[in-house]
């Protein structure tokens, strides 16, 4: 009311800064914009950010640890969820370790006590010739399993070596693999090992696993990134 009749150019904006309500308005506006931006990131880009973060962790630990880890300490690191542990010990170990003689790395048995989990995972992946991912619905919902397969995928694409074997314990629709878009891309283009399809012929299934473990590290034109030569 005091400024009525005066020119706009003569208006003293200092009075706005002296008014605390204007500062509250600016603060609330920024808070609302930040909330909307965070919600957008969480809804549409959270999996991309998570994947990028896992790649960053893998790169950091890869740089620090690769030279200090024996690359032939294990034949394969088995990445699995605790809910599938019974299958691993009942079906996988008797064949791969007992009959075929492979040396496997299992987190409940071979991880070093007291060491950070992420370092144990890195040492297990880079200390093994291969990584076998035993994939189920429980596996896809596990945070640590997610970190394991992301780091194994990073090694696969970074080194371009035949180091990753995907073993599906259950039939999983493709859209459930959307958070793991690189794995989904591989599954679409290449063969993989499916336990449900091999129930009637388990011997053939374990022969395929053995063939995948026998392949060398170098990728060739006839090498399948998931299961070895076709």
Question: For residue 7, what pLDDT band results from cuts at 50, 70 and 90?
Answer: low
Better pLDDT: 78 or 181: 78
Q: Alpha-carbon distance 207 to 175, whole Å?
A: 29
Whole-model pTM? Answer: 0.66
Better-predicted residue by pLDDT, 84 or 115: 84
From the CB of residue 4, how many other CB atoms can be counted at a distance below 10 Å?
Answer: 5
Average pLDDT, the chain: 76
Write out the two tokens for 85. Answer: 């542990």
The structure tokens listed for 161 are: 């070596």
Where do runs of H (alpha helix) occur along 41-116? Answer: 46-65, 85-87, 93, 107-110
SS3 (DSSP) at 5: coil
Task: Give tens-digit pLDDT for 12-37.
Answer: 656 555 556 767 777 788 888 888 88
End-to-end CA separation in angstroms for the chain: 85
Q: Which pLDDT value is given to residue 220?
A: 47
Residue-level pLDDT at 99:
92
- What three-state secondary structure class fits 148? helix
pLDDT-based confidence at residue 227 (cuts at 50, 70, 90): very low
Domain definitions of the chain by residue range: 47-229
In percent, how much of the chain has pLDDT > 70? 62
Which strand (E) or helix (H) includes residue 193?
strand 193-194
- Between strands 193-194 and 223-224, the pairing is unpaired
pLDDT band at 210 (very low <50, low <70, confident <90, very high): very high
Calpha distance 49→110 (Å, rounded): 30
Q: Quick check: 54 pLDDT over 70?
A: no
Q: How far apart are CA 226 and CA 145, in angstroms?
A: 18
Q: Please, which pLDDT band fits residue 59 given cuts at 50, 70 and 90?
A: low
Asked whether residue 106 carries a pLDDT value surpassing 90, the answer given is: yes
Superfamily of domain 47-229: Toll/interleukin-1 receptor homology (TIR) domain (3.40.50.10140)
């Amino acid at each position: 009311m005091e400024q009525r009749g005066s020119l706009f150019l003569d208006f003293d904006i200092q009075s706005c800064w002296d008014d605390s309500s204007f500062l509250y308005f600016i603060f609330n506006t920024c808070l609302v914009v930040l909330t909307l931006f965070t919600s957008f990131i969480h809804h549409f880009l959270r999996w991309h950010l998570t994947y990028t973060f896992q790649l960053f962790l893998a790169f950091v630990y890869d740089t620090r640890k690769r030279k200090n880890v024996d690359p032939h300490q294990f034949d394969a690191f088995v990445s699995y969820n605790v809910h599938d542990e019974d299958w691993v010990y009942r079906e996988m170990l008797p064949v791969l370790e007992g009959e075929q003689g492979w040396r496997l790395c299992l987190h409940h048995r071979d991880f070093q006590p007291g060491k950070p989990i992420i370092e144990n995972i890195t040492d297990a992946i880079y200390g093994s010739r291969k990584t076998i991912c035993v994939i189920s619905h429980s596996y896809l919902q596990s945070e640590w399993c997610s970190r394991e397969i992301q780091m194994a995928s990073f090694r696969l694409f970074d080194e371009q070596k035949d180091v990753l074997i995907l073993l599906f314990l259950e039939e999983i629709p493709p859209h459930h693999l959307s958070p793991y878009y690189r794995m989904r891309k591989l599954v679409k283009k290449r063969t993989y090992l499916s336990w449900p399809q091999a129930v009637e012929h388990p011997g053939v299934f374990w022969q395929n696993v053995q063939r995948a473990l026998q392949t060398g590290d170098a990728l060739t034109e006839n090498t399948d990134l998931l299961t070895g030569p076709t």
